[in-house]
Amino acid sequence: MNVAMLSRWHVHANDYAREAMANPDIEIKLVWDEEPERGRQWASELGVPFEGNLDAVLSNPDIEGVIIDTPTYMHKQVMLEAAKHKKHIFSEKVLTFTIKECEEIFSAVDENEVHLMLSLKRLSDDYYLYAQKAVKEGLLGRLNLVRCRLAHTMGLPLEGKPYGKLPPYFFDPELCGGGALMDLGAHPIYLTNRFAGEPKGVYARLQATLGHRVDDNSAVLVDYSSGVLGIIEAGFSSNDSFRLELHGTDGQIIIEKGGLKIKSIHVQDGQWTTPAELPAKLPSAMEQWVKQIKDGTEPAITREDMWRLTQINEAALVSHREGRRVELADYGGAV
């Protein structure tokens, strides 16, 4: 499949280019960027032509798909145009800012019979698959709380760099839609949603402790129809951490960067134990995208994942701004 790389704006753009080049079913043919000089440099590095006109890229009959790393505010328009030109779409998270825009994108994708994939990469990881299986098998009894935290220090100021190791534009709400929650928080949001089910309400505090215009230290409390409480945390200004906790009537699972452990009345006499092995990882989001295009394989990452992620983000911004719990019935029902 011949693809065009659309923008090097996001910090993961290089990662997706490398993954595409390593995939035997993908060939990068063109680069476009909303900043032409950056795009020309990237095209030179990749050894492909640069095209400064987005319509020319999307009208090119040799291009079958696009990999999008534009500023988030551009996602909707770029995706609608790509779908109209019958191009398959792979994108960095998040999909867009509102569920209304999500639904516009889904409609355009369906109308033009192309495939859409969002990089919700942790849904392919072995620790997630183990935890999901353990919950399904009842090892934790009735699940009642999920806590997921993802944070790093890349936003902390350095000498001569008030935005730390992150690009300054990551702190621009017009470009990004938000800060730590919108970016890093995407992973805790979609993971928590997967375990807990349909969310009912959101209460969020999005703190800008560094004094920028977006949050760098955020916490969200979500209550779900299942009775599970979700605690979602994200930060650009905390020591590096990833922690996923699942608590139930019969046990708990704790997952950190260093590994996974389970304590359950159904396992090892209720003592903390580390599983001897974890399930095999699923194909990456990009691999799932290609497989769906090539042979119709249904991806593990779903539209509901994308839609629920957007729903929580949209409601969290309202909750913080208005200082109240937001009922998600006000932000769409089931996808």
Tell me the β-bridge partners of 325.
none
State pLDDT tens for residues 246-301: 999 999 999 998 799 999 999 999 999 999 999 999 999 999 999 999 999 999 99
| Rounded CA separation 271/264 (Å) | 7
Task: Write the burial class of residue 237 (CB in 10 Å: 0-12 exposed, 13-18 middle, 19+ buried).
Answer: buried
> Quick check: 144 and 197 in contact, CB under 8 A?
no
Quick check: 331 pLDDT over 90?
no
pLDDT (0 to 100) of residue 189: 98
Buried b (16+ CB within 10 A) or exposed e, 182-215: bbbbbbbbbbbbbbbbebebbbbebebebebebb
Torsions phi, psi for 25 (to 5 deg): -95, 5
Domains of the chain by range and CATH? 2-118 (3.40.50.720), 122-331 (3.30.360.10)
Nearby residues of 268 by Cβ (< 8 Å), 6 or more positions away: none
Kindly report the average pLDDT of the chain as a whole number. 97
**Better-predicted residue by pLDDT, 333 or 58:** 58
Quick check: 334 pLDDT over 70?
no
pLDDT confidence of 335, banded at 50, 70, 90? Answer: low
Nearby residues of 77 by Cβ (< 8 Å), 6 or more positions away: none
Tell me the β-bridge partners of 205.
219
Quick check: 242 pLDDT over 80?
yes
Quick check: 333 pLDDT over 80?
no
State the alpha helices, DSSP H only, in 155-277.
173-176, 186-196
pLDDT (0 to 100) of residue 257: 85
| Rounded CA separation 217/34 (Å) | 30
Q: Are strands 27-32 and 2-6 parallel, antiparallel or unpaired?
A: parallel
Measure CA of the first residue to CA of the last residue in the chain; give whole Å.
30
* Half-sphere CA count of 33, side-chain side, radius 13 A: 18
Q: Helix or strand or coil: residue 183?
A: coil
| Rounded CA separation 154/164 (Å) | 6
Percent of the chain with pLDDT over 90: 97
Mean pLDDT score, 146-165: 97
Instruction: Calculate the alpha carbon distances from 131 to 93, 122, 145, 263, 329 in Å.
Output: 23, 12, 13, 12, 29
pLDDT confidence of 126, banded at 50, 70, 90? Answer: very high
State pLDDT tens for residues 174-218: 999 999 999 999 999 999 999 999 999 999 999 999 999 999 999
Torsions phi, psi for 112 (to 5 deg): -105, 5
Verdict on whether the full-model pTM lies above 0.75: yes
Mean pLDDT score, 96-122: 98
